Structure 1
């Protein structure tokens, strides 16, 4: 038995020596306080390693709803069942967030929509929250409408381009690159 304990100690020491169990390789997770809302309990966790980077995950009632490299909550009214999050990832074309997320916690399961304008700075500016219809505006007044679980896009073309032209679009882009998008995001596993 003593020999087994000694060999176990030797193996652990060697693993540390070669870096297999170094702090950089051990996943670290931090979890926020649970907040209780009429639609359920929400919390966020951030997990990862120094080598692989970290991911933020939003949970509703213990189930993952949204995960990205980093997430920023853009809404100061925490009682609302619809929330806007900004992706902390930055786009190589614009140097800004490539997308925003709308999370509708009132839907079962929660509905997540990634939206924005491709190759542009997608910065949340303001929202008008109605009972059935919400208008979400990016900087420069680019407006998306969310109603009955569906995101309606702004029209592509000159007006949209004039709203996002540099510095809000990446260098070397043109009107044809100003393409609004909205796509449902599957629940993380």
Structure 2
């Protein structure tokens, strides 16, 4: 191979690598941004099964909308074991759980064994986990991706939809005021 051809090939490969790394960096930063929208709709009526019981063991308990409207306000967090960005927010959800914030998990298009493994190894921030292996409930909710979190009131009204990671700043700016009476 001629030196000039080899140099051009090396330059082309280096340029392609720079472009790919740029896209990866941009995508990673985009996933860290949380978008909040005010909602004016009711949480869909559904019947599903629980992923796990209160001891973290696989469950067949039937769940309905009543299970996501047991408190004046609660969060419904859409997550999956395969979602890398969900792991970023998991520790903060555990902190909210420890403060008494009611969080219902919606396990989206996931392998139940993998999801149960995440909850047993990393901790379970959820009072209830809805199993949604085909994504039917998520589709009715309008889920775009994971993680997403919905603020739902006792009447089943969706107050807010948060697309992206919940962290301390998002919590304080968007959600904390709904849970003032809770230990958090």
Report the TM-score, using the length of structure 1 for normalisation.
Answer: 0.26
Greater relative contact order structure (CA < 8 Å, 6+ sep): 2
* Higher relative helix content: 2
* Higher relative strand content: 1
Report the TM-score, using the length of structure 2 for normalisation.
Answer: 0.26
The structure with more radius of gyration: 1
